[in-house]
Structure 1
Amino acid sequence: MPSPKKPAIAKWTDDTEIVSITLSLRAIADIELSPNYTTAFHAWFLHQVRDSDPQLSAYLHDGQSEKAFAISPLNGKLELISNTFLAKADSTYTWTISALSKPLCAWLQTWYSNHPEIINLYKGNFAIEQIDINQPPTTYNNLWSVSSNPEPRFTLAFLTPTCFRSKNHHLPLPIPTNIFHSYLRRWNDFAPEAFPQEDFLAWIEQVVYITNYDLNCTKVAVAKQGYVTGFTGTVEFAVDLKASQNSDFERLLSALIKLANYCGTGHKTTFGLGQTRQIGKNEVGSEKSEKEAITTTPIQEHLIKRIAELTDLFLQTKKRQGGDRAQNTATIWATILARRELGESLKAIAIDLDMPYETVRKYAQAARKAIGALESNLRL
Structure 2
Amino acid sequence: MSSPKRPAIAQWTDDTEIVSITLSLRAIADIELSPNYTTAFHAWFLHQVRDSDPQLSAYLHDGQSEKAFAISPLNGKLEPIANTFLAKADSTYTWTISALSKSLCAWLQTWYSNHPETINLYKGNFAIEQIDINQPPTTYNNLWSASSNLDSRFTLAFLTPTCFRSKNHHLPLPIPTNIFHSYLRRWNDFAPEAFPQEEFLAWIEKVVYITNYDLECTKVAVAKQGYVTGFTGTVEFAIDLKASRNSDFERLLSALIKLANYCGTGHKTTFGLGQTRQIGKNEVGSRKSEKERITTTPIQDHLIKRIAELTDLFLQTKKRQGGDRAQNTATVWATILARRELGESLKAIASDLNMPYETVRKYAQAARKAIEALESNRIELETVASVSSL
- Sort the TM-score into its range (normalised by shorter chain): over 0.9
Matched residue, 2:381: none
Q: After superposing the two structures, state which structure 1 stretch, 63-72 or 289-298, moved more.
A: 289-298
Change (3 A) 1:126 1:209: same
Residues 269 and 73 (structure 1 numbering): CA distance in 2 closer, same or farther, change over 3 Å? same
Aligned length: 378
How far has the Cα of 1:92 moved from its partner? 0.5
> Do the aligned partners of residues 74 and 371 (structure 1) sit closer, same or farther apart at CA in structure 2, a change above 3 Å counting?
same
2-side partners of 1:376 and 1:292: how far apart?
Answer: 47
* CA apart distance, 1:299: 5.6
For 1:130 and 1:20, how far apart are their aligned partners in 2? 14
Q: In the TM superposition, what is the alpha-carbon distance from 1:345 to its structure 2 partner?
A: 2.4
SS at match of 1:67: coil
Is the contact made by 1:217 and 1:230 (CA closer than 8 Å) also made in structure 2? yes
Residues 195-234 of structure 1, C-alpha deviation per residue, up to 9 Å, x if partnerless?
0000000000000000000000110111222111000000
Structure 2 equivalent of residue 342 of structure 1: 342
- Conservation of the 8 A alpha-carbon contact between 1:74 and 1:296: no
CA distance 1:291–1:271, shift in 2 (3 Å): closer
What is the match of residue 144 of structure 1? 144
Shift in CA distance, 181/51, structure 1 to aligned 2, threshold 3 Å: same
Residues 11 and 109, structure 2, Cα contact 8 Å, conserved in 1: no
Q: Judge which range, 50-59 or 287-296, deviates more.
A: 287-296
Q: CA deviation at 1:297?
A: 5.0
Deviation at 1:7, TM superposition (A): 3.9
Q: Distance in 1 between matches of 2:167 and 2:224?
A: 16
The alignment's TM-score, normalised by the length of structure 1, stands at 0.96
Shift of 1:9: 4.3
Q: Give secondary structure in 2 for the equivalent of 1:299.
A: helix
Partner of 1:142, secondary structure, is helix
> Which segment is superposed worse, 10-19 or 24-33?
10-19
Work out whether residues 149 and 247 of structure 1, in 8 Å CA contact, stay in contact via their aligned partners in 2. Answer: no
Contact 1:36–1:299 (CA under 8 A) maintained in structure 2: no
CA-based RMSD of the aligned residues comes to: 1.7
Q: Indicate the SS of the match to 1:74.
A: coil
- Distance between the aligned counterparts of 2:297 and 2:147, measured in 1? 35
Kept in 2, the 8 Å contact 1:70–1:270? The answer is: yes
Q: Tell me if the contact between 2:38 and 2:272 (Cα under 8 Å) persists in the aligned partners.
A: yes
After TM superposition, give the deviation of residue 363 of structure 1 in Å.
Answer: 1.2
Moved more, 90-99 or 347-356: 347-356
Give the match for residue 197 of structure 1.
Answer: 197
Whether contact under 8 Å (1:78, 1:297) holds in the other structure is no
User: Equivalents in 1 of 2:291, 2:155: separation in Å?
Assistant: 16
How far has the Cα of 1:347 moved from its partner?
2.7
CA distance in 2, matches of 1:57, 1:323: 34
Cα distance, 1:324 vs structure 2: 2.1
Deviation at residue 129 of structure 1 after TM alignment: 0.7
Which range moved further: 122-131 or 283-292? 283-292
2:294 and 2:154 map into 1 onto residues whose CA distance is 20
Identify if the C-alpha distance between structure 1 residues 106 and 234 changes in structure 2 by more than 3 Å, giving closer, same or farther: same
SS in 2 for 1:218: strand
Kept in 1: contact 2:306–2:338 (CA 8 A): yes
Structure 2 alignment gaps of length 5 or more: 378-389
Alpha-carbon deviation of 1:374? 1.4
Q: CA offsets per residue over residues 304-335 of structure 1, 9 Å max, x none?
A: 11111111111121222222222221111111
The alpha-carbon distance between structure 1 residues 236 and 94, as it changes in their structure 2 partners (threshold 3 A), is same
Give the superposition deviation at 1:11: 5.1
Distance 1:346 1:14 in 2: 43
- The separation in 1 between residues aligned to 2:267 and 2:195, in whole angstroms, is 21
Match of 1:265 in 2: 265
